Structure 1
Amino acid sequence: MPYKRIKWLILWTPTVTIALWEYIRHTFLLPYLSMDLGNALAPVIVLTVTVTLVYKLFHLLEQTSDSLQRERLAKAAFVEREQLARELHDGISQSLFLLSVKLDKLEHTQDKESVQATAQQIRKTVKHVYDDVRQSIASLRSEPSMTEVQWMQSVEEMAVELRLGGLQVELDWRLTDSDLTSKEKIELLAIVREAMLNVQKHARAKRLIVNAFKAENISAGGFNCTIMDDGIGVDDPALEAKGRYGVRMMRDRANAMGWQFEVGRNDSKDNNQTVGTVVAVTKGG
């Protein structure tokens, strides 16, 4: 029985009981019961109903309340697990992938100075992973603020990392600090970073283009952001394949913010190069 219905039954049962007793007494029992006896029986009847029916309703209310509390705790635990998954994926997982890219580069490097430079980059990435682990443990339950995540710094650093891996990265970012809220900045940058990293992982691309701008054809405060590459493209079934957590998290982040999110194959031409995959995030419309 729904929680609210139980509360209404508890509230109305004594009132309905005394009203029903008075109706029966005056309609059927008045010739047999005196007024004093009827008045004396009224509280006894209400007490009897309260001890039986209302007591059971209170017990049912407690059970329903406990069930709702367990559901809230289960939901909170699920939210914590989702947050933990995002923390691990956005920080540690991405950093470890970049570390593997640098190790591959180190294996094929013959020049001593290049080896030293790559080793220095690896040490920097390892320190970054260590910092991510500490931050995830310390602030897993708190929402990161823009004092912790510098606006656009993470995307620019990602672009540098991908360029070191041989990918041509072009950034055309026309959104300013005042165009987005702190929450929007965090979520949009997380989506952009993940989309850029997916290009390095899966697209076999040579070129990556990131555009973000306010458009005249969308509502005030809206924006368009696209991440395009000239790789092998992607099919819809592949997006839902087991293990594709990145695409799923990007979509979840966009949906949670009320944004439109699209990802798929695009065979249009851009400067005579085929755009293999396009990820588009739009606010407004």
Structure 2
Amino acid sequence: MLILLIPTVMVGIWEWVRHQLLMPYLSMDAGNYLTPVLVFLSSIVLLLPLFRLMERNQRELEQERAATSAMEAREALAKELHDGMAQSLFLLSVRIDRLEQSRKDGSVSADSVDQIKKTVHEVNRYVRQAIASLKVPVSSAESFSLEHSIKEQLAGLAGEVMIEVSLDWRLDEQALTPAEQAELLSCIREAMINVRKHTRAGRVSVTGQGNEQGWHVTVTDDGAGIQHEDPFAVSGSYGLQIMRERSRSMGWRLQVQSGAAGTTVEIAKGGGEDGTLPGADRR
């Protein structure tokens, strides 16, 4: 306010003094020349310190915002570590203790070993997701785009395994809450990791369509497929099992269809019993 008011007040005072007191001694032309000179001198003397103060306040505000963003990032990472890796490692230690006790009793079961393998796989998945999240450039909530994040995941997959990728995204992001977007992105990432690890696919495509009333997302590849009637029953299919647990916790439907022509993973919410949407193009 002072930056705005000082020049106005200075010019007003000068014009009043000039017309009321200095008219007999100062010509009109001389007064017109002196006016900008006085404004310039008053700006140097009075306004420059105010501008420096404003710039210092702006720098302090930016530093405070940067510190706040860093703290929020640390809190988010701590929550991810606690909810994922810390709890899984604790569960792993409990199961190892039980396995050790069973070994002493001579009753080691294959289920115990499978449970430990599953827990190790979960920890590995949490670590990968945390690293992937840290590699994503920080952006404001307004500029976040689920479609852009999926494009980055597809580009990374294409660069790692030299595979053709495509994206057809017509899902209104307003139909998903931030928590749903995060879980859906994790499921899509897990499906693409399975494509990279377990198939010899030459092409993978991701499609998404729907609105607040219902939507479905599919991840399709043309790989060798899963040679089992129930893909979730395959030994070591921890990724699919984790995706199923995530989908159940969010109230979504997860279907996996696999054969010689490839594998299709579909996640759906709302719509019909089979996850279809009115007028949807099932591919």
Superposition TM-score tier, normalisation by shorter sequence: 0.3 to 0.5
Q: TM-score, structure 1 length as denominator?
A: 0.46
Q: TM-score, structure 2 length as denominator?
A: 0.46
